[in-house]
Amino acid sequence: MPVQRPYNPNAKLMAEMLQSDWAKVGIKAKIVTYEWGEYIKRAKGGEHDAMLIGWSGDNGDPDNWLGTLYGCDAVDGNNFSKWCDPAYDKLIKDAKRTPDQAKRTELYKQAQHILKEQVPITPIAHSTVYQPMRKTVQDFKISPFALNSFYGVSVGK
């Protein structure tokens, strides 16, 4: 990953740490980097044994992760692992369509069990979002999805 991202501010260091850890268990890894556009093109083309990539969810729905990153329909999109499991895919599609929250939760749990068993990708980090502001800012609510609204915000003296 040639550029800094909110979820991985130092990809070179992360790659070096992984390389070192893998070497301890006998896995040789060569770190290769490209300009961002070329990196994404090669990643989408499956030209890697391992790669660093990230995702920032923007709506809080499980499908924003489970479908977008692992779904069969996303193999040519953000599913960089190219993993496609028909049973998993049916579960997430059924979950996305059902309005029954309890049923939806159960379907997503079943889908996550398949992910846990097959491990198409290995999440290794989660970003922490900081929002610096003056003490005089009032009624500002930090969005967990990085979609900050300034409606109702005021600045006191």
What is the domain extent for residue 11? Answer: 1-54
Number of domains in the chain: 1
**pLDDT tens string 17-68:** 999 999 999 999 999 988 888 988 998 888 888 888 887 777 778 888 899 8
Taking alpha carbons only, the member of 115, 121, 66 closest to residue 94 is: 66
pTM: 0.74
Structural domain contains residue 49: yes
Structural domain contains residue 98: no
Structural domain contains residue 8: yes
**pLDDT tens string 65-114:** 899 889 999 998 889 899 999 999 999 999 999 999 999 999 999 999 99
Structural domain contains residue 15: yes
Structural domain contains residue 45: yes
User: What SS3 string covers 67-107?
Assistant: HHHHCHHHCCCCCCCCCCCHHHHHHHHHHHHCCCHHHHHHH
Structural domain contains residue 36: yes
Structural domain contains residue 35: yes
Q: Taking the alpha carbons of 4, 67, 31, 45 in that order, is the dihedral positive or negative?
A: negative
Structural domain contains residue 25: yes
Angle at 130 between CA 34 and CA 133, to 5 degrees: 130
